[in-house]
């Protein structure tokens, strides 16, 4: 099978995850163009797809309000259509990452998943269970340490939101992992000798892309990106990052729907220093546990050479 620009080429043996796209026949400017193309595509989709999805939601709702009002509510997550729209936008980063790897880097997209050349499903399943346990325990610890008063009271339309969360949030979180910890980290890793350039740069771009935020929230997201990127390099694949990100986002919406309301999560632009530190600490605990499991399962962290 061939891509638009020639045949596929598998990574040579002994490469760490950030180095898998290193190719002698791919010029640095091509890699830079690939990175720019990814961001431009995301911006283009972001400017069109949400309106289409929200318009469909408005039509299906029976048009009980004007489209302008429905759109404003959707953008604020006051109805589930906005969540569907944004999750689908981010999910498009999965096929975009595959396409960029195949067309520009002449590599089979499965090498984005791991140094094995595909998802390691047993490890992914274990990490999902691990994330559910660790991240929810850390959420309870966070509430206790910050003195938050929690009153469980499902918001209006809770179950409708939960259907959307379960059906689409996994794709949104996976899209971010495939692009930022997958394509972006491998592309940046092909431009520098040290993999740490890719780790730091991808984490910085991940934090910046989350928009307006105060310093503690920015540093929280930067640290999250750094921990997630190091976890990918230490385990040789995206599985632990995908599991942690998916579980974190799903339960963030579940707990919000049961307490403050999901709309409150949409407008978050500030975070206190204590919350930022505890949040990163919780994910770091999960990352250490996931790394320990990877070691126990003897997972490969470097490529073995040509795939069969």
More confident: 265 or 171: 171
- pLDDT tens, residue by residue, 135-145: 999 888 888 88
CA nearest 93: which of 37, 33, 166? Answer: 37
3 pLDDT more than 70: no
24 pLDDT more than 50: yes
Q: Are 214 and 61 in contact (CB under 8 A)?
A: no
Binning pLDDT at 50, 70 and 90, where does residue 6 land?
A: low
CA dihedral 69, 250, 146, 76 (to 10 degrees): -10
Q: How far apart are CA 74 and CA 88, in angstroms?
A: 14
CA nearest 216: which of 275, 282, 147, 256? Answer: 275
At residue 305, the pLDDT reads: 62
Binning pLDDT at 50, 70 and 90, where does residue 1 land?
A: very low
At residue 61, the pLDDT reads: 86
178 pLDDT more than 50: yes
Classify 2 as helix, strand or coil: strand
What pTM was computed for the model? Answer: 0.91
Classify 3 as helix, strand or coil: strand
Binning pLDDT at 50, 70 and 90, where does residue 252 land?
A: very high
- Average pLDDT estimate for 110-135: 96
Q: How far apart are CA 127 and CA 138, in angstroms?
A: 16
117 contact partners, CB below 8 Å, separation of at least 6:
10, 108, 110, 111, 303, 307
Classify 63 as helix, strand or coil: coil
- pLDDT tens, residue by residue, 180-233: 999 999 999 999 889 999 999 999 999 998 878 899 999 999 999 999 999 999
Binning pLDDT at 50, 70 and 90, where does residue 269 land?
A: confident
Q: How far apart are CA 233 and CA 302, in angstroms?
A: 9
More confident: 193 or 39: 39
- Average pLDDT estimate for 120-144: 93
63 pLDDT more than 90: no
255 pLDDT more than 90: yes
Residue 237 DSSP symbol: B
């Amino acid at each position: 099978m061939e891509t638009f620009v020639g045949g596929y080429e598998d990574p040579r043996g002994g490469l760490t995850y950030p180095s898998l796209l290193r190719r002698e026949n791919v010029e640095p400017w091509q890699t830079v163009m690939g990175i720019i193309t990814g961001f431009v595509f995301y911006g283009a989709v972001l400017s069109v797809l949400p309106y289409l999805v929200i318009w469909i939601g408005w039509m299906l709702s029976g048009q009980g309000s004007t489209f302008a009002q429905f759109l404003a509510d959707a953008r604020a997550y006051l109805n589930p259509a906005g969540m569907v729209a944004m999750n689908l936008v981010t999910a498009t980063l999965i096929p975009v990452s595959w396409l960029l790897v195949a067309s520009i880097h002449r590599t089979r997209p499965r090498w984005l998943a791991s140094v094995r050349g595909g998802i390691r499903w047993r490890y992914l399943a274990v990490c999902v269970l691990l994330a559910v346990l660790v991240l929810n325990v850390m959420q309870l610890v966070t509430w206790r340490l910050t003195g938050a008063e929690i009153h469980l009271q499902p918001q209006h339309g809770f179950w409708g939101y939960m259907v959307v969360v379960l059906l689409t949030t996994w794709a949104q979180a996976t899209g971010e992992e495939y692009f930022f910890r997958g394509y972006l980290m491998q592309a940046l890793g092909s431009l520098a000798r040290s993999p740490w350039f890719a780790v730091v740069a991808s984490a910085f771009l991940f934090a910046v892309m989350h928009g307006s935020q105060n310093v503690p929230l920015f540093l929280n997201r930067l640290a999250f990106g750094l921990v997630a990127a190091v976890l990918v390099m230490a385990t040789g694949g995206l599985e632990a990052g995908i599991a942690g990100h998916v579980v974190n986002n799903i339960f963030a919406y579940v707990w919000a729907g049961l307490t403050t309301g999901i709309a409150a999560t949409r407008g978050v632009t500030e975070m206190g220093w204590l919350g930022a530190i505890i949040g990163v600490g919780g994910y770091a605990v999960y990352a250490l546990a996931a790394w320990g499991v990877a070691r126990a399962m003897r997972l490969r962290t470097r490529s073995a050479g040509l795939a069969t």
